[in-house]
Amino acid sequence: MPLFSQLLGRPKHTIFVRDLQLSSVLENMKQETALLRAQVGRERESSKSLETLLHSNREKEFHAQLTQQEKDAEIQLLKDRLSISESKL
């Protein structure tokens, strides 16, 4: 009879061990998921910061181009005035 009870008890033990293994795998996956979510959050913040910086730099470049165009137009106007003044002499 002890042999029969050993055979019946063995699958329960096997199921218990397998359950422990699966619980461990599940816990590891939960931890990995939490780490990955945190990483994604950090990467989103980094991306937002870079997008903000890019936008700011584009605005600065746009304003610099406008300023340069205004200066070029003023220089051209002064050249034209000088040319008209010289032609009157």
pLDDT digits (tens, 9 = 90+) for 2-11: 555 655 566 7
User: Would you place residue 55 in the very low, low, confident or very high pLDDT band (cuts 50, 70, 90)?
Assistant: very high
**What is the rounded distance in angstroms from the CA atom of residue 50 to the CA atom of residue 43?**
10
The predicted model scores a pTM of 0.61
pLDDT of residue 3: 53
pLDDT of residue 17: 85
pLDDT of residue 68: 98
80: tokens are 């034209």
pLDDT digits (tens, 9 = 90+) for 11-54: 777 888 888 999 999 999 999 999 999 999 999 999 999 999 99
